[in-house]
């Protein structure tokens, strides 16, 4: 009986990840170690203040940022249930009080308080983000985007990773 219950939970959890992947158009694929290191290095160009991750997935980048900047608010928005739940548990177990997690679309969130925005999305998500940023009034924000560029902005800096795809990490000075 216990095994059947456990198996049901595992199957439902797996199905929820598949469902959100189909709904959102992107899986919760985590940033690689190289991408994480490059994003942490690029983040040093941002001013003090809150950091927001747009689609925080399993928290790979979120927790790396929270450890690098323990005195800054590090906020993650994630819609997919299982990664969001995992990051909640991780935050509690590893006691990272500067991390805030919201199971909410970043497209419906107020991003104006952040001095640093970080994302690893997909082309359509970058188009939606471009429209959202154009409609918002935030001053002096740095956006770091892994792999995908904003369609209508020129990055201030592009770093290419030493990996199979020479993955680009784009930095945009916004506002």
Ligand X SMILES: C[S@@+](CC[C@H](N)C(=O)[O-])C[C@H]1O[C@@H](n2cnc3c(N)ncnc32)[C@H](O)[C@@H]1O
Q: How far is the CB of 125 from ligand X (least distance, A)?
A: 5
Binding site for ligand X (CB under 6 A): 20, 24, 26, 28-31, 53, 55-57, 60-61, 77-80, 83, 105-107, 120-121, 125
Give whichever of 7 and 18 is closer to ligand X, judged by the CB atom.
18
Considering only CA atoms, which of 139, 138, 144, 174 is closest in space to residue 159?
Answer: 144
Residue nearest ligand X, CB atom distance: 55
3-state class (DSSP) for residue 44: helix
Whose tokens are 């995908």? That residue is: 148
Q: How far apart are CA 24 and CA 53, in angstroms?
A: 16
Nearer of residues 38 and 174 to ligand X, judged by Cβ: 38
Task: For ligand X, give the closer residue by CB, 31 or 115.
Answer: 31
The least CB distance from residue 78 to ligand X, in Å, is 5
Contacts of 95 (CB under 8 A, 6+ apart): none
Distance CA 100, CA 68 (A): 15
| Minimal distance, residue 35 CB to ligand X, in Å | 7
């Amino acid at each position: 009986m216990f095994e059947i219950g456990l198996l049901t939970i595992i199957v439902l959890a797996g199905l929820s990840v598949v469902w959100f992947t189909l709904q959102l158009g992107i899986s919760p694929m985590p940033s690689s170690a190289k991408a994480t290191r490059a994003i942490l290095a690029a983040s040093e160009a941002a001013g003090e203040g809150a950091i927001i991750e747009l689609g925080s997935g399993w928290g790979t980048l979120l927790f790396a940022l929270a450890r690098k900047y323990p005195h800054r608010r590090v906020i993650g928005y994630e819609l997919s249930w299982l990664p969001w739940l995992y990051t909640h548990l991780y935050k509690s177990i590893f006691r990272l009080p500067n991390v805030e997690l919201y199971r909410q679309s970043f497209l419906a969130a107020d991003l104006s308080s952040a001095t640093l925005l970080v994302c690893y999305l997909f082309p359509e998500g970058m188009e939606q983000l471009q429209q959202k940023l154009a409609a918002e009034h935030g001053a002096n924000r740095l956006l770091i985007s892994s792999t995908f560029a904003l369609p209508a902005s020129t990055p201030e800096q592009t770093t290419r990773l030493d990996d199979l795809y020479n993955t680009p990490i784009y930095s945009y000075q916004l506002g």
